[in-house]
Amino acid sequence: MTVTPKVSVIIPTYNVKNYIAQCLKSVQEQTLRELEILIGDGGSEDGTLEFLQHAAKQDSRIVILSKKGSGYGQSVNECMDAAKGEYIGIVESDDFVDTSMLERLYAQACKHNADIVKSDYYCFFDDANGKQRTWKIKTALSGKDYHRVFTPSEETRTFRFGMNTWCGIYRRTFLNEHHIRHNQTPGGSYQDNGFWFQSFALAERVVFVPEAFYYYRQDNPNSSIHSPGKVFAICDEYAFIRQNMSSRSQWTPNVEKAYWLAMFGAYMFSLNRVGDEFKLPFLHRMRQDFLPLYTQGAYADMGFSGRERKLLTGICDSPEKWYQDNVQNRAGGVKKFIGKLVGLYWCVVEHGFGYTIGRVKAQFFDKIFRRREEHG
């Protein structure tokens, strides 16, 4: 008799020979044994595929779907189409997970009859001595947001929670009924944004737990988080989200409000990450995309804070002046230091102390790794 897997784990891979063994082992050793492990390989040429093929001969739960040239979104989507588990989880091939993760999340999913269960996570990197450095990231805004069932579309503030797709599990029938899949643009940048927004906007029963099980690598130079040259990828992803969602009956005023809030957060994250030479072009694109709200004066209706409204107004009034005041004139010295302090203050006010500390650490190590790449 064929037993339905409790969880289908999807691992998208492409040329990750330095990381895939640790990742796959952490999934194979899960205490929840009723798994299927679907690996979507985009045509690896560095030995990754051969390693996976050998592993599949040793573990019948592993299924490899290999298609040369398939990007992140296509690889994950094809695995989702093939999945048979009650729930689906995604593990990035350069990350790894605690062996109890899926058992713990699946138990919560059953307990609450949840469409989605998500947890906190750890960021990590390996230092020069080979020692692993970790720090915890909270995904929810406050302690009150954990261990309760909520409907995100009825609580738009929850769209300010940490955006990721991989530290949780999703009911497979829920994803299929709503045709929730990843965008399939070339390159794979920011495609988790579209999946995250669709699933969050359409789910009726979501639960967050404060334990951290997922280890999110920060020192892979080939990761999309270290690709500042993909300047407008996030803009294309939010265009995809709007196109995908706006024709649905679930595109309610609350969901549209959540869309603008999430888009603002994603654009500001990208603006902070791209090189200075790309910031002004990005600001012009940001002005273009937020102009409908600006001309209608609808900032307040969308739930933006006073600080966010002021920031958006400045960018829409004149990207050049905003760039001069906030980038060029703060390029060094006291003004830059004061600007960072103000930014930290508002991050604490709007997102909490734990979230802010996590972001500071992530940005600090991100800069270190970029310098390593620049200097070989």
Between 353-374 and 333-351, two packed helices, what is the crossing angle to 10 degrees?
Answer: 140
**In contact, 114 and 206? CB cutoff 8 Å:** yes
**In contact, 101 and 192? CB cutoff 8 Å:** no
**In contact, 129 and 368? CB cutoff 8 Å:** no
Q: How confident is the model at residue 226 (pLDDT cuts 50, 70, 90)?
A: very low
- Highest mean pLDDT range out of 217-226, 283-292, 347-356? 283-292
What Rg, from alpha-carbon coordinates, does the chain have?
21
* pLDDT > 90 fraction of the chain, expressed in percent and rounded: 60
pLDDT over threshold 80, residue 223: no
- For the segment 97-102, the average pLDDT, to the nearest whole number, is 98
pLDDT over threshold 80, residue 129: no
Look over the chain and give the mean of its residue pLDDT values, rounded to a whole number. Answer: 86
Instruction: Specify the length of the chain in residues.
Output: 376
- For the segment 62-90, the average pLDDT, to the nearest whole number, is 93
- For the segment 61-75, the average pLDDT, to the nearest whole number, is 90
- Confidence (pLDDT) at 349: 47
Strands (E), the chain: 7-13, 35-41, 62-66, 87-90, 96-97, 116-126, 132-137, 168-171, 206-217
Between 276-296 and 233-245, two packed helices, what is the crossing angle to 10 degrees?
Answer: 30
pLDDT over threshold 70, residue 344: no
The closest of 65, 76, 66 to 180, measured between CA atoms, is: 76
Neighbours of 363 (CB within 10 A): 12
Pair of tokens at residue 45: 């040429």
Using one digit for the tens of pLDDT, what is the confidence trace for 231-272? 888 999 999 999 999 889 989 999 999 999 999 989 988 888
- For the segment 197-209, the average pLDDT, to the nearest whole number, is 97
Buried b (16+ CB within 10 A) or exposed e, 252-283: eebbbbbbbbbbbbbbeebbebbeeebbeebb
> Phi and psi at residue 62, in whole multiples of 5°?
-85, 125
Tell me which amino acid residue 136 is. Answer: K
Side-chain-facing half-sphere of 356: CA atoms under 13 Å: 14
Decide: helix, strand or coil at residue 41.
strand
- Confidence (pLDDT) at 253: 92
Side-chain-facing half-sphere of 178: CA atoms under 13 Å: 25
> Phi and psi at residue 16, in whole multiples of 5°?
-125, 40
Using one digit for the tens of pLDDT, what is the confidence trace for 12-38? 999 999 999 999 999 999 999 999 999
pLDDT over threshold 90, residue 154: yes
The closest of 77, 82, 86 to 109, measured between CA atoms, is: 86
What is the pTM for the complete model shown? 0.86
**In contact, 88 and 172? CB cutoff 8 Å:** yes
Neighbours of 209 (CB within 10 A): 20
- Confidence (pLDDT) at 1: 55
Q: With 0-12 CB in 10 A as exposed, 13-18 as middle and 19+ as buried, what is 369?
A: middle
Least confident of 75-89, 106-120, 338-352: 338-352
Own/partner contacts of 320-329, CB < 8 Å, gap of 24 or more, are: 320/280, 322/283, 323/279, 323/280, 323/283, 327/276, 327/279, 327/280
Distance from C-alpha of 197 to C-alpha of 371, rounded to nearest angstrom = 32
Decide: helix, strand or coil at residue 117.
strand
- Confidence (pLDDT) at 338: 44
